Structure formats: C-alpha cells, structure tokens
A and B are shown apart, each in its own frame.
Chain A
C-alpha cells in the first residue's frame, strides 16, 4: 500500500511537472478573477488528467481511485480550484459509468475520450435541502418519449458551463428513496435555464450556479439505469465526492504546511529562525501528524473503493471527508498564523488556502451532518 508502482510514479511525476509549470503560476490570478479556467481544462485534457477515471473501454486511461487521489492531492497543493475542475468532471461522469446501460454509456462516455474538452457536472443539491438529500423537490414525469422535468438546483459546480450533466429527480415521489431517478441532461435541451453564478469566498476558480428546469424535455433513453435507481446512484456518487473532497483537504493542508515551513526557516526573529521556537515547532508537528492521519484515512478509502467494498467504503469516505477537511481548516489557519502579517496578505498563497479549505468542510455534506451518518453506520440505527 505504501509503494507506488512504476505507472503511478510516472503519472505523479508528469502531474507534478504540469502543476509546477502551468498551474501554480496562475493560481493567484484565478482566485482573484474567479473566471472559469479554460486553459486549465485544455492543459488537463491534453495530459490525460481531466478524464483520468474514464474507463479504457470508452477511450480513457482508467486510473485507480488511489492514483486519482494522488493526482488530486498534487494539483490541490498548488491550486484547489484547478483540482476542483477535475473532481467536477468525475462527478458528472461516474454516475453514468455506474448506472447507465451500454447504449447510454457509449453515447456519452465516448465523448470524453482522448483529449476531449467536453465538460460534465452533477446536479444534486437544491435550495431547500442542503444536507437533507432526500428532501429534494425536482420531479420528472414521463410523457410519451420524453421525461418532463421541473425544479431547481443550486450550487452546481460547472452548472452553466457543462456540456452535459447528471440530474436527480423524483419519478415516483410516494416511494421515497425508491422513487428517485437519474438522468443525463444536455446543454441546449429545451427548458434548461441557467441562473446566477454564486460569488464565493474560496475555490473561486470553479464556478457554481443555479439551474432551473422549466418543463425541461429529456429523451426517455437518457434515464440512467431504471426508474427508482437514482437514490443508490446518488449515494455511490456522494461517497466518491467525499473521497475526492478528502483528497483536496489533504492537498490543501500539505501545500499550506510546506509554505509555512519554508517561511519559518527563513524568518529570523529574536536572533534565530522562528522554526527553532517551541510554539512554532509544536504547530508544525501537529500539522504534519494531522495531515498524515488524514492522508492514510483517505487512501484507505480509495483502496476500499478500488476493491468495490462499498459498504465499508461509504463509512470510510464520510470519515475521511470530515477528518481531512477539518484538518485542512486547522492547518491552513495555523499556516497563516505562522506567517503572521505576511500570511494575512495576498502576496502569499496561504490566505487563499484558508478560504479554499472552508469549502471542504461544508460541501458534499456539512461535517456535522456527516458525523451523524457515520454514527448511524456504527450503531446500526437506521
């Protein structure tokens, strides 16, 4: 588990070089402007990063979740927004991989092959629910050869940009979670309306927007799997999203710690580098131990998902998510502290990392709620 194979080594090296050369230099500007990073999409597409999880059968390189987390961690160290672009792509792809029939998979997944820059998205959260996934209100009614969908989604990453997205809606509301279905919706389908883009505190390079479904017409064949399979599809996707968020947490914390250590070694006060002082050393030690713990939990989750041990993986993904994001929040906040006045300015990246880290605590399930679901798994309370 702790040794990389040759392929992983090469992938990681290539990602590191690309991050150093292309991603790191523009991270500050991306955060400043909040403009969608088209050039990041282009670079990642050209280098088999954008769709790295895509199955080989559909023209992808199909890396393991373990390798994917390493890629995410590496990118996030320099620019969390850029990594979020890759995560968003995965979230809009995997529901089709897991749930779609062969025809649907062939139709959409092959569009992502090679150096394709086609973008995907996941349409799950709604304004009313936040962490209460079951309380979504979007409904889909079958009329002849089309589903007519009505409702609204919010905070959808890539919402207004994605070429196609996966949408969850109730096809049979009285059946509760057995009445939810998943659909592939293309940009340009009649009735798909984009709302406003949210102005966010962090991860500003990855846009999130509202989407309105106003008698949205979706061809019948775009149903992912069968009616009623939407909920289990959503749950699987949610565990994967949590794994990816955990990898981001680890990357943010690692990046921030490295900045803080570099600074502490150079910054001389009271006649010596502040890295020689006990309070700073304590903070650094806690950072490193926290990161390593979060990393192990994250990679174990990836390992379980690679073996398709979904039952164990679901609980692990939830734990990894809240451990890694809480760690990222603490480490980035402490990194700003170590860097003092300088850390508080936009001249250094740690204040951005602190803002970015906050999102990892709240999206894909607020940490407080995730703890409840872990407890339910452990205590057997349904």
Chain B
C-alpha cells in the first residue's frame, strides 16, 4: 500500500524490501503479541534476523555488509519489520548503533578479530553510554577509564542499555580525562566475559517490551589499550556520528509503527459496519485516515533524504534529526488517533485484542530514545544557524 519507488534507486533494493516485508509478515508478526504480553527477548526472531543478514547490514561490504545503498537498505529493513513488531526492529537498530564505533573507528586488527565474531559467531553488540547522571547530557557521564600500562581500567555504571543482557560485545563510552570538554571521553570495545562486568536489573517498560533493556556495571574491568576505538578523546565525536547513522533508522522504526497501525485501521474500518454502512464512510474516520497518511508520506521523505545523504558520504545531521523528530511525533499522533478511529462507532480500540494499543505504547519510545525530540530541535537549530553563516 505504500510506494517507496521514488526512493529505491535499484531493482535490488525493491526486491529486498519485498523480501523483508514478507518475512516480517509471515514469521515475525505472529509472535509480536506474545512477546509484548510476556516481555521476553525473542531468540527465534534474533536467529531469523541473523539468517537474513540484517544484524550485519551496516558492516563494510568486505565483512558481509550490504553494498551500495546501505543506509537506505537498513532503513527499509527497520521500517518493514517495525510495521509488525517494533521490538524486533529495535534489535536491528541497536546492533548498528553498537557496532558503528567498531566498524568506523576500530583498528584493522580489532575489526579482523571482532567483526567475524558478530557475523560468524552471531554475537550481539550493545552500546553503553547512558548513565543515571547522563541522559540527554552525555557529557555528564562518570564512568572512568584509567590507563594502567597496556590496559585501561574501567569503572562505572550504565543504564537503559538496549540488549545489555544479551550482548557479547560492548561499545563503552568512558571518561579518559577530567572535565566536560569535547575530548574528555573515549570509546572502548569491551567483551562480555570481562572480569568485573555484570548485568543489573532488566527494565519493565511501557512498550517495545521484547527489547532487553538493562543496567550494566563495570568494576575494575581491564580493557587492552588496543581496544580504544578511534583515538583517546574521540568519544563525543564518534557518538555524534553514530547519531547521524541511527536517527534516520529510528525514524524508520517510527514510520513502520505508523504504517502498521494505519494498515490495521484501514482494514478494520472497511469491514466494520454501523448503521448499515462501513465506518470507513464516516467523514470523521476519513479525516483521521487522511491526516495519518499525510504524516506517513512526509516522514518517509525526510527519512530517505537523510539516508541518501549518508550513503553519499555527505553530512546529514540536520535531516537525520528532522526525520527522527518528525517521524516520532507523527507515529505518536497516528497511533493515538488510530485508537479513536477504531473506537468511533465500535468501542473496541482500547482493547488488547487489537494490536493498535501495543503500537501506541511502542510509538512513545521513538520520541524519547536516540535523543529526545526536544534535544533534536536544539540539534536542528544549531545546524540551521551554522548553515546560515
């Protein structure tokens, strides 16, 4: 029902989209309600995503990643999966976020050692940045990395780590010098089985409940100096570049949630009768459908602009932020109104039997993570002012 052709420059991408959509619909969708109900990390879906190459899609081509049009392919995959299960789509996103510092800033020996552990060994990766004192303000992190001979000793606690409890490899942001300056932190590759690394509690969430979100504690964790990603002091720069990659994907997740909701609603209103007519004929319902579709298509435009710029190696910070901000807010509005659309003349939208209520809960997170939509506006403003100089 949604046409991507304007944004898919190759036949390969078009068939990629069709293939992912079919698998998502046939194999992932049926499990989504139970995953949400019982709040568990679905290993079956994880396996499937590995089989499809989606958990290494952002790898360099020589390591098995997607070739030309990688960002577009990544966004398509996230979108198609999110239509049926936002939690499953989140796994794709976080895998890319976590392995970004390794792929782009790891030394060759490091990449040769660890990337095959992911592609062959199927190790999941997590991104340990957020802390109780550092959410929107990542400069507020307190985890330290102190040099000790050929190693660094890491101490601190991370929270809200997606895949924290199921990952085998972590990209960890820690302070390597005092103060809040731009060069005061660095990324480290840390293995799960490091002495001193432990998993804390698992968060119970409003939505995206199939995603594993945990605390991770680091107590005198010894990390070889070779595991620094990029140079010491590159931490914030790497994190910002990671956002340029991840924000279009988060936007794609929001878009997928919105589209999944839309398809459920339009199906329902065509089939449900009241006063002798399908409720789809009610002008109120039609207004909701139209407003939702407008937001969906506008989101798509921003996402693909951001993705294409990234694939072309150009700076996409402004569009990445715009896409994430717009699509997240749009998904929240669409899912909120969708329950009304089902409710109008039927009374049933509120109930768990209809997956729309899960999508409403899942959508909220897209306004919050990878930078709240309030932070996105600051990022956008800063870019605009830079551009106008």
Name A's B-contacting residues (CB within 8 A): 125, 127-132, 135, 154-155, 198-202, 268-270, 279-280, 329, 333, 336-337, 340-341, 343-347, 351, 354-355, 358-359, 361-363, 366-369, 372
Query: Do residues A135 and B140 form an inter-chain contact, with CB atoms below 8 A?
Result: no
- Give how many B residues have a beta carbon under 8 Å from the other chain's beta carbons: 46
Query: Do residues B368 and A337 form an inter-chain contact, with CB atoms below 8 A?
Result: yes
Give the distance in Å from the alpha carbon of A359 to the alpha carbon of B336 in the complex. Answer: 11
Query: Do residues B275 and A135 form an inter-chain contact, with CB atoms below 8 A?
Result: yes
- Selected A-B contacts with CB under 8 Å, 19 pairs: A130-B345, A131-B345, A199-B351, A200-B352, A269-B134, A270-B140, A341-B159, A341-B368, A341-B369, A344-B206, A344-B368, A346-B206, A354-B364, A355-B361, A358-B360, A362-B349, A363-B350, A366-B340, A368-B344
Give the distance in Å from the alpha carbon of A182 to the alpha carbon of B9 in the complex. Answer: 65
Name B's A-contacting residues (CB within 8 A): 130, 133-137, 139-140, 159-160, 203-207, 274-275, 284, 288, 332, 336, 339-340, 343-353, 357, 360-361, 364-365, 367-369, 372-374, 377
Query: Do residues B206 and A354 form an inter-chain contact, with CB atoms below 8 A?
Result: yes
Query: Do residues B351 and A201 form an inter-chain contact, with CB atoms below 8 A?
Result: yes
Give the distance in Å from the alpha carbon of A329 to the alpha carbon of B349 in the complex. Answer: 15
Name the residue on A nearest B37 (C-beta).
Answer: A199
Query: Do residues A345 and B374 form an inter-chain contact, with CB atoms below 8 A?
Result: no
Residues of A within 8 A of B373 (CB): 337
Query: Do residues A270 and B345 form an inter-chain contact, with CB atoms below 8 A?
Result: no
Minimum CB–CB distance for A242 against chain B, Å: 15
Give the distance in Å from the alpha carbon of A341 to the alpha carbon of B160 in the complex. Answer: 7
B340: contacting residue among A129, A269, A270, A367, CB under 8 A = A367
**Most A CB within 10 A of own CB, among B206, B357, B365, B373:** B206
Name the residue on B nearest A129 (C-beta).
Answer: B274
A345: contacting residue among B205, B336, B344, B357, CB under 8 A = B205
A344: contacting residue among B288, B351, B364, B377, CB under 8 A = B364
Residues of A within 8 A of B288 (CB): 368
B339: contacting residue among A132, A198, A362, CB under 8 A = A362
Give the distance in Å from the alpha carbon of A329 to the alpha carbon of B338 in the complex. Answer: 14
Give the distance in Å from the alpha carbon of A354 to the alpha carbon of B362 in the complex. Answer: 13
Query: Do residues A130 and B343 form an inter-chain contact, with CB atoms below 8 A?
Result: yes
B206: contacting residue among A135, A336, A372, CB under 8 A = A336
Give the distance in Å from the alpha carbon of A241 to the alpha carbon of B203 in the complex. Answer: 37
Query: Do residues B360 and A154 form an inter-chain contact, with CB atoms below 8 A?
Result: no
Name the residue on B nearest A346 (C-beta).
Answer: B204
Minimum CB–CB distance for B70 against chain A, Å: 29
Query: Do residues A368 and B340 form an inter-chain contact, with CB atoms below 8 A?
Result: yes
Give the distance in Å from the alpha carbon of A361 to the alpha carbon of B349 in the complex. Answer: 11
Minimum CB–CB distance for A199 against chain B, Å: 4
Minimum CB–CB distance for B330 against chain A, Å: 14
Query: Do residues B345 and A132 form an inter-chain contact, with CB atoms below 8 A?
Result: yes
Given contacts A155-B347, A354-B206, A362-B340, contact A341 B135 (CB under 8 A): yes
A366: contacting residue among B204, B206, B344, CB under 8 A = B344
Residues of A within 8 A of B135 (CB): 269, 340-341
Residues of B within 8 A of A129 (CB): 274, 345, 347
**Most B CB within 10 A of own CB, among A127, A154, A354, A368:** A368
A201: contacting residue among B347, B357, B369, CB under 8 A = B357
Residues of A within 8 A of B340 (CB): 361-362, 366-368
Residues of B within 8 A of A368 (CB): 284, 288, 340, 344
Give the distance in Å from the alpha carbon of A343 to the alpha carbon of B274 in the complex. Answer: 38
Residues of A within 8 A of B365 (CB): 344
Residues of A within 8 A of B344 (CB): 130-131, 366, 368-369
A279: contacting residue among B284, B332, B343, B377, CB under 8 A = B377
Minimum CB–CB distance for B163 against chain A, Å: 15
Query: Do residues A128 and B274 form an inter-chain contact, with CB atoms below 8 A?
Result: yes
Query: Do residues B364 and A269 form an inter-chain contact, with CB atoms below 8 A?
Result: no
Minimum CB–CB distance for B352 against chain A, Å: 4
